[in-house]
Structure 1
């Protein structure tokens, strides 16, 4: 079927985190899409309700098969039922991994900039946060492998939290980059947890490589985290997966999950996950085409009307990382200036020191809303541009 991604669905007064405003602010911030979910998923959820009994539910063999087939066919990631654990979300899984791989007080390395919970969960769980800044070359981020190894040695790092595809920069790390990182971590016996939640949103011309496919001989120290929720815009259902292929590691993860009874999903999540992987590909293909067109629109608009903004074109996802340093000198002032113009972006300083005077734009919305948001950005910053 043909989906209509231009349809505007009013999300105000629904409890939506993204659309919490009481005015006409255009939200281009938190990472969910303003697109109706795939019809097979909506039908499946409705069928669960119509059945009428919303009781305790466990994952079925058909669900496991759908996960195994999706990841095997798209990414050559060979999984078995035993390799798959369920979790309420990737962020809870990041916190869980602190207890799987480290002790209180030990060092955990993350890149800067990075999705905020990578930093907050390390510190909230009593671990030592170590940052390695990404290097920006030719408009995109690169891993600073020399700095990563130096920080590992200096701080006796036990765990590396990787974000692939990267949020907020949109990089899809290449196989050469991932293999170089793996070699460093193996050399110093550092565990690797790879957040791969944006994997299915990889854009044209780029190839996503699951870290586990490279980890032969080091599987006891590698875990991947992913979910169908970002892919199919069903984040409110809650549900994610933990992939590990080493038997002893799987057992340790299970033991940690059972400490807090965080190993089950609700019946809607199980059902939606299975149907998404079995029948969601048509919707996803169309959504990605629309998103790529929105990325083009955004890049072209900024080049024409706010040319001093430096745009980091994403290789995956619907999030665009932009450098607004030519238009402001203070992070809070930049954020508030845009909010006063009734457009909200994600403030870059929340992603680490390297987010100074940067913003993250979510373009996964009907084009008319995106253009209105961009015009408000121009109204807020354009005067500054012409006077600078």
Structure 2
């Protein structure tokens, strides 16, 4: 990271801030803009990230950098769309808005080059819940689910909670950082009882944007063996710098034939509390089997507000999205530069997508319990423990940098001071 003028090479400069007109007290914000530096007090709103700290970490005085939602205001165009609907005094049974599916298909076409048909789409009541629904519908009690750790922990917890055996196909860690898929090991563990593979695309927690060739190879492998792929693409609209997301189902006929894709505007536009997820299934046989079951149980019926938020995000959100991504990139650069100068034993993996940074803390030489104590009791930080993502994540921590830059800086300074005090 290049040092800037002044004593503090990591201070916020005008160039780091959004390139929009200055706001003054009492001014209404310009449409589609956000002051990402502005702190938002979320305590007392039943926020999981803030109001359950004591439950999850044993103390409530921590700086929360864990749950994967951002501390930026929900965009004004989404709030405005919801407010307009709220102004009507009756919230009864509601039909799907006419622009719901076109908004999704237009967004995917323009951003990811994938031509999705409206009939391929169904609302689902959350992506983690969607995994459970797929398991219930497609995976027998004596069949198996493949995951690729270190990976988002519900990929393991949901199959196990539903009584299915989980098969591990760990990612291959590169000596200089980063990961790739281990197809040789996958061939060894994928027996004829493996029915489902859960793909994190982009990858959480590593922030990997999988390349088309890797996805094509995975699709060919799974299609040949009758393994269904659920591709969780909730972070797809958060590719950073010059990286580009590739939808799994778009890479080949085999991929389209063997896959269910899950998506949502919730991560990108910070509306996780408005469950706005959807499934995309190109293959007619798979689609009929899954969607008919969703419809029979009315699981494809969205709440009143989800389609409204989705349409507003995908029709009006591009300028805000770009501003947010540039700000997140600045936060990632801050983390990388700060660690290089002040915390060289901690190596951040530069994410190719999302606002989550995978911190390799193994250089500190601490046991798992000691690492937890360092972050929680010494630095007073709440991060996701890397071991939660599988044994391969031991010695790592997942840092959420979707926050005002001053908050990210405070977290880093707390960690620097804690390491100086306690790690010899």
Aligned residue number for residue 277 of structure 2:
240
Equivalents in 2 of 1:112, 1:378: separation in Å?
29
Shift of 1:79: 1.4
TM-score (norm 1): 0.96
Match of 1:147 among 156, 180, 185: 185
Match of 1:8 among 36, 39, 43: 39
Say if 1:305 and 1:382, in contact at 8 Å, map to a contact too.
no
Equivalents in 2 of 1:333, 1:58: separation in Å?
53
The count of residues paired between Structure 1 and Structure 2 equals: 385
Match of 2:402 among 342, 360, 364: 364
Equivalents in 2 of 1:318, 1:133: separation in Å?
23
The alpha-carbon distance between structure 1 residues 217 and 372, as it changes in their structure 2 partners (threshold 3 A), is: closer
Aligned residue number for residue 387 of structure 2:
349
Aligned residue number for residue 18 of structure 2:
none
The alpha-carbon distance between structure 1 residues 84 and 363, as it changes in their structure 2 partners (threshold 3 A), is: same
Q: After superposition, where does 1:327-338 map in structure 2 within 5 Å? A: 327-338=364-375
* Structure 1 residues not aligned, in runs of 5+: none
Shift of 1:330: 2.4
Equivalents in 2 of 1:157, 1:220: separation in Å?
17
Secondary structure, in 3 states, of the residue corresponding to 2:268?
coil
* Structure 2 residues not aligned, in runs of 5+: 1-29, 55-59
Equivalents in 2 of 1:245, 1:339: separation in Å?
45
Shift of 1:190: 1.4
Equivalents in 2 of 1:284, 1:186: separation in Å?
35
Equivalents in 1 of 2:409, 2:187: separation in Å?
43
Match of 2:224 among 182, 187, 193: 187
Q: After superposition, where does 1:112-127 map in structure 2 within 5 Å? A: 112-127=149-164
Equivalents in 2 of 1:379, 1:241: separation in Å?
44
Secondary structure, in 3 states, of the residue corresponding to 1:194?
strand
Match of 2:50 among 8, 19, 25: 19
Q: After superposition, where does 1:272-291 map in structure 2 within 5 Å? A: 272-291=309-328
Say if 2:198 and 2:231, in contact at 8 Å, map to a contact too.
yes
Say if 1:215 and 1:222, in contact at 8 Å, map to a contact too.
no
Say if 1:99 and 1:256, in contact at 8 Å, map to a contact too.
no
Equivalents in 2 of 1:168, 1:68: separation in Å?
27
TM-score (norm 2): 0.88
Shift of 1:24: 4.2
Shift of 1:323: 1.3
